Amino acid sequence: MTMSAEALAADYLATGTVAGAPSGHFIDGREQDSLSGEKMDIFDPGLGRPFAAVAAGDRADAELAVASSVKAFPAWRRLAPAERGRILNRMAALIRENADQLAMLETLDVGKTLAESRGNAHSAARTFEYYAGVCDKLQGDSLPVGFGQIGLTLLEPVGVVAQIIPWNFPMTTFARGIAPALAAGCCVVAKPAETTPHTAILLARLLSDAGLPPGVCNVVLGEGPSVGATLSAHPDVAHVTFTGSTKTGVRVMQAAAEHFASVTMELGGKSPVIALADCDIEAAAQGAAGAIFENAGQICSAGSRLVVDRAIHRKLVDRVVEIAGEITVGHGLRGNKMGAINSRRQLDMILGFTDRARRDGRAILCGGKQLQDADGGEGWFIGPTVIDDLPDDDPCVQEEIFGPVLSVQVVDGPEDALRAANATRYGLMAGIYTSNISSALAIARDLESGSVTINDYWGGGVEVPFGGVGHSGFGREKGLVAVQAYCRVKSVVARVPATLSQETRNN
């Protein structure tokens, strides 16, 4: 009988180990060690120390995985679309059956809470379920080329694609990239972040259990400069989907351009939550807090800026600070409301921003300092942080902090709110809180953002396209539009005789 997440957590906290955790690459339908035999430690952010070791791949492992996918591609693309859909549906069911184990591993890898990880598992299942229904509905068009000809388009899979997965949402990012690629008939080589490998291996194993043929989805573990760079530059990789920092995204694009591979880039963000004077203050406060404190703010689309009308500034910000004070911080397996920062390096980066804000005399209303887990006294933690009344050019307004730090900008009216919201080089997501739908729609129209929500910051799901503009990248994931990245259009035009009698004479 499968153990519950709570039982798995209790066992881990007692022993410091996870029985049966996957540890190798998943290539050609089986787990395997690196060709070099090298291993790398995986840290529990809540304790700040290693809890497992996995295969450390390099260029040779990545090339082996690509070769496996190249070999598998012809048969996979020819498989009946309905059968592809059945495999993806079985995958969704298997994720739900194994949600507790997946959630446990996600919490240990990332540092987030068990509740958040459980939600991620079910979101991943829903994503495979959604794209299972797409498989047999991908169709081309008939073209109005005129009498005497028939024109049509065919949708074809682009081939082998690479998925470079970030450390903050390993399960959901795996699903939102790999499910549409498989639905389109592509084969996939995935590289999870080096700090968060476990759920990617387990998901690949579950895909195999669901009936996915060997080589159709391979997972290679290792660091970006070796494995990620090899996949981005590999001539047999037709498309690269990358989620991560803007700086690394530039390098991925440059490598892919050398062999004319297409790319989808989901990069950084500095997303605003706009609160107009007529908004429901409690709803806006809850929305703003959830937008930045979920997953300890380690979300590309986190609402890291609160753009608030001066008329409600004090009341709204005070309420957000109250909500922040109710958030318990500690190990994600111990029932806390906020977990750890993923790495010592990331924590130091966040503290660099808050330390500078303190030196500059900014008003830090709460948080801003390193914490320790109340039970274990270890790990990488920072409390929910609110920095008040910042100018547009402050680094906490302009730069992606990637932590639970809310930067407040005070504005005067809707036009000023729009100006402030658009005052960064990023454009991934934005939220608007107002009781006036006309104002909301007008601002939504003029925001430089790939996604906008109104009165519900995390509104939508897999059905809604997601992606950015500006330094937040380009291309879209989720929704039906996501499948387009994994398809190419072939046009076919045939000459047709004007009459049947003409055809008879020609014969």
Helix (H) or strand (E) holding 204: helix 198-209
374's CB contacts (< 8 A; 6+ apart) are 328, 330
Closest CA to 277 of 448, 439, 457, 453: 439
| 8-state DSSP, 327 | -
Neighbours of 323 (CB within 10 A): 18
Helix (H) or strand (E) holding 470: strand 469-470
Catalytic residue from among 135, 217, 279, 300: 300
**What is the rounded distance in angstroms from the CA atom of residue 66 to the CA atom of residue 60?**
10
Strand partners, 189: 162, 218
Annotation marks residue 448 as catalytic? no
Ramachandran area for residue 148 (φ above 0: left; ψ -120 to 50: alpha; else beta):
left
Angle at 341 between CA 336 and CA 346, to 5 degrees: 170
Coil, strand or helix at 267: coil
Annotation marks residue 477 as catalytic? no
Strand partners, 57: 222
Where helices occur in 269-393 by DSSP H, the ranges are 281-293, 313-325, 344-359
**What is the rounded distance in angstroms from the CA atom of residue 79 to the CA atom of residue 75?**
6
9's CB contacts (< 8 A; 6+ apart) are 104, 107, 114, 333
Residue 465's Cβ-count burial label (10 Å; 0-12, 13-18, 19+) is middle
Across 310-461, the runs of DSSP E, i.e. the strands, are: 363-366, 370-371, 381-382, 385-388, 405-411, 426-427, 429-433, 451-454
Catalytic residue from among 194, 266, 294, 477: 266
Closest CA to 27 of 74, 73, 62, 79: 62
405: phi then psi, degrees, rounded to nearest 5: -120, 115
CA distances to 67, 69, 206, 282, 414 from 238, rounded to whole Å, are 13, 12, 25, 48, 44
28: phi then psi, degrees, rounded to nearest 5: 60, 35
Tokens coding 65: 């995985």
Active site residues: 266, 300
